[in-house]
């Protein structure tokens, strides 16, 4: 039974803590519970959000909720500038790995009871009995086995239950805090950073990416033809795109370009023998026969037509000319941010359509050589750390190895991705001698991955290698074991880089808000900030300072330098690549 924990537990998580719990969607008139100090306010959602906004303005507490979408959404929608949070779902993902983080799973993991016993929500099936998930009493948030009740969504339709639900979130957060502190000296800080990133994801979804609709229409027309007004016109545009390829192969006009086997036959007929039709395989043959260049152009335009065409524009770009999609703070693997509706993989040909709105500019910042610089921190290799003091890290590495810069770059990337063939393999031998500490870290991670053992990133996120690549038992398939090793080798670096990036993005969000700036895109190691033109220079300066601040906190004083290419632009395509 969850008891009145507010007096004892509110002080266990860093900062002045407040808990917000909201009734599930579709549960009638929305209500919420606000737990702060020794009191709990329960009432209609709008009234509680207003009280939460006043609390945020006066105390700036650390908010606790089951997840950002479940708890922070009403505040974000109301424009409340949430500063600090403990997100139970994000903490669960960090501590336990994977993506799934229901309230029941978070509670069970925090209390050390088996996740496979978490009761499922009732389905209303004729053969499903209420006794399967019995509660100790009708008002209890837990069942007799100690799990959160499986019918919580239905149970929370009664606002009187919201206080117990908020207290359960607080108890879970407290246990997570203790587990994080016992697991890694950095993990509590990572939870706080990831929780801020989860709120940022809601703001990214709310605000959207500014789009020049007219320019985007022009770009689409150039790639796939004018906007069709009927199915017949759409089919004609499709045929025209196909004919631009097929005219280069007389006698093969019936080839279905969407069938890889037929495309290989067509290419073989003109002397291009390839094992598959992937882009990287076809690229070297561009000058061998004109059909290859035409095919690659067709593939780019076909992807735009089918994924980023006029239907995409109409469905996802709002009347305010903002492209919106759902964002998540963690991909369930190494922890990179993800986004829907093309926000993370918009074709380069459409980037000129991403444009700052009138009176605004973009401040674009791109982290330089982020993964090798992260390797210097997580490995603690002093020689490799020294190389990061240069603007171009690969230059001192090349000098130390006595090779050209291009070879040094290939070697460093190969070390992190597990490539050992060709020139990369030869250069790796030099890396192992010059930077033994960094190379040993990667080798140990790869060995653990081959054995299917879980790893933790520098910030403490668990990476269960066996779970993600578990097609066969460890040791039964040498190719699979090697894949596990490569995944693990890179995941500890990518995961750490994602942690630093999110800490930076959250810091930029917090330190530029007063200037009217919005973070509108987070793309792996690139930030795009939409800012009033009159504040462009100051926003750019704060973006750079935010990197210094975030890197110092994240790296814990390691003598590693991080750099960003920061510029003020009007369109995304104006950025230097």
Domain ranges of the chain: 6-183, 213-314, 323-369+498-574, 370-496
Q: Give the Å distances, CA to CA, from 435 to 407, 411, 428, 445, 522.
A: 16, 12, 10, 16, 32
Q: Give the Å distances, CA to CA, from 40 to 18, 48, 77, 81, 253.
A: 10, 10, 22, 22, 72
The position carrying tokens 């009187």 is 160
> Which residues are 143's β-sheet partners?
135
* Cβ–Cβ < 8 Å for 316, 299: no
β 564-569/455-456 pair status: unpaired
> Which residues are 19's β-sheet partners?
35, 64
- Residue 10's pLDDT is what? 45
Which stretches does DSSP call E strand in 3-128? 17-22, 31-36, 39-44, 62-65, 84-87
Report domain 323-369+498-574's class: alpha beta
Burial of 344 (0-12, 13-18, 19+ CB in 10 A): middle
State the Cα torsion 422-425-426-428 to the nearest 10°: 150
- For the chain, the first-to-last Cα distance in angstroms comes to 57
Global confidence as pTM: 0.91
- In order along its 577 residues, the chain shows pLDDT tens digits of 333 444 344 445 666 899 999 998 776 789 999 999 878 999 999 999 999 999 999 999 999 999 999 999 999 999 999 989 999 999 999 999 989 999 999 999 999 999 999 998 876 555 555 444 455 578 899 999 999 999 998 899 999 999 999 999 999 999 999 999 999 999 999 999 999 999 999 999 999 999 999 999 999 999 999 999 999 999 999 999 999 999 999 999 999 999 999 999 999 999 999 999 999 899 999 999 999 999 999 999 999 999 999 999 999 999 999 999 999 999 888 899 999 999 999 999 999 999 999 999 999 999 999 999 999 999 999 999 999 999 999 999 999 999 999 989 989 998 998 776 666 667 788 898 999 999 999 999 999 999 889 999 999 999 988 765 555 555 556 777 788 888 999 999 999 999 999 999 999 999 999 999 999 999 989 999 999 999 999 999 999 999 999 999 999 989 999 999 999 999 999 987 6
SS3 45: helix
- Residue 12's pLDDT is what? 54
* Cβ–Cβ < 8 Å for 427, 433: no
* Cβ–Cβ < 8 Å for 180, 90: no
- Residue 332's pLDDT is what? 81
Task: Name the CATH superfamily, with its identifier, for domain 370-496.
Answer: 5' to 3' exonuclease, C-terminal subdomain (1.10.150.20)
Looking at CATH, the fold of the domain delimited by 6-183 is given as Nucleotidyltransferase; domain 5 (3.30.420)
β 62-65/84-87 pair status: parallel
Closest CA to 465 of 479, 478, 483: 483
**How many whole angstroms separate alpha carbon 60 and alpha carbon 203?**
18
In CATH terms, are 6-183 and 323-369+498-574 the same topology? no
């Amino acid at each position: 039974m969850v008891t009145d924990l507010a007096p004892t537990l509110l002080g266990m998580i860093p900062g002045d803590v407040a808990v917000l719990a909201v009734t599930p969607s579709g549960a009638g008139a929305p209500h919420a519970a606000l737990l702060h100090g020794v009191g709990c306010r329960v009432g209609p959602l709008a009234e509680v959000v207003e009280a939460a906004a006043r609390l945020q303005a006066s105390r700036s507490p650390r908010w606790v909720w089951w997840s950002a979408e479940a708890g922070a959404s009403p505040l974000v929608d109301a424009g409340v500038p949430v500063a600090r949070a403990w997100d139970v779902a994000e903490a669960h993902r960090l501590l336990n790995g994977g993506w799934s983080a229901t309230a029941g799973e978070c509670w069970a993991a925090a209390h050390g009871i088996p996740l496979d016993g978490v009761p499922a929500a009732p389905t209303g099936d004729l053969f499903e009995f209420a006794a399967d998930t019995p509660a100790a009493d009708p008002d209890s948030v837990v069942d007799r086995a100690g799990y959160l009740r499986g019918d919580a969504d239905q149970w929370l339709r009664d606002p009187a239950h919201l206080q117990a639900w908020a207290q359960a979130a607080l108890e879970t957060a407290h246990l997570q805090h203790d587990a994080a502190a016992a697991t890694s000296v950095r993990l509590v800080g990572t939870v706080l950073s990831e929780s801020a990133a989860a709120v940022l994801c809601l703001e990214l979804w709310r605000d959207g990416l500014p789009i020049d609709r007219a320019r985007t229409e022009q770009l689409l027309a150039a790639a796939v033809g004018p906007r069709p007004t009927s199915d017949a016109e759409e089919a004609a545009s499709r045929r025209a795109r196909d004919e631009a390829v097929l005219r280069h192969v007389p006698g093969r006009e019936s080839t279905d370009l969407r069938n890889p086997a037929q495309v290989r036959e067509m290419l073989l007929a003109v002397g291009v023998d390839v094992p598959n039709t992937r882009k990287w395989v076809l690229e070297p043959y561009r000058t061998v026969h004109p059909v290859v260049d035409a095919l690659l152009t067709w593939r780019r335009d076909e992807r735009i037509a089918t994924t980023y065409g006029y239907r995409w524009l109409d469905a996802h770009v709002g009347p305010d000319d903002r492209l919106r999609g759902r964002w998540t703070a963690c991909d369930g693997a190494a922890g990179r941010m993800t986004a829907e509706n093309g926000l993370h993989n918009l074709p380069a040909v459409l980037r000129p359509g991403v444009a700052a709105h009138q009176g605004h500019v973009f401040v674009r910042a791109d982290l330089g050589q982020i993964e090798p610089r992260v390797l210097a921190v997580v490995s603690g290799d002093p020689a490799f750390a020294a190389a990061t003091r240069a603007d171009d890290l690969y230059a001192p590495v090349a000098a130390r190895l006595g090779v050209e810069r291009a070879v040094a770059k290939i070697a460093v990337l190969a070390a992190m991705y597990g490539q050992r063939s060709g020139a990369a393999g030869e250069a790796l031998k030099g890396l192992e001698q010059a930077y033994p500490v960094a190379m040993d870290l990667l080798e140990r991670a790869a060995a653990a991955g081959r054995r299917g053992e879980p790893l933790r990133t520098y910030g403490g996120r668990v990476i269960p290698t066996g779970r993600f690549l578990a097609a066969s038992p460890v040791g039964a398939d040498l190719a699979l074991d090697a894949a596990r090793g490569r995944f693990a080798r890179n995941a500890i670096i990518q995961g750490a880089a994602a942690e630093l990036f999110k800490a930076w993005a959250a810091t930029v969000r917090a330190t530029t808000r007063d200037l009217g700036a919005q973070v509108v895109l987070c793309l792996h190691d690139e930030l795009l900030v939409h800012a009033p033109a009159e504040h462009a220079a100051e926003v750019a300066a704060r973006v750079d300072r935010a990197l210094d601040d975030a890197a110092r906190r994240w790296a814990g004083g390691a003598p590693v330098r991080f750099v960003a290419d920061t510029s003020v632009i009007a369109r995304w395509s104006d950025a230097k690549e």
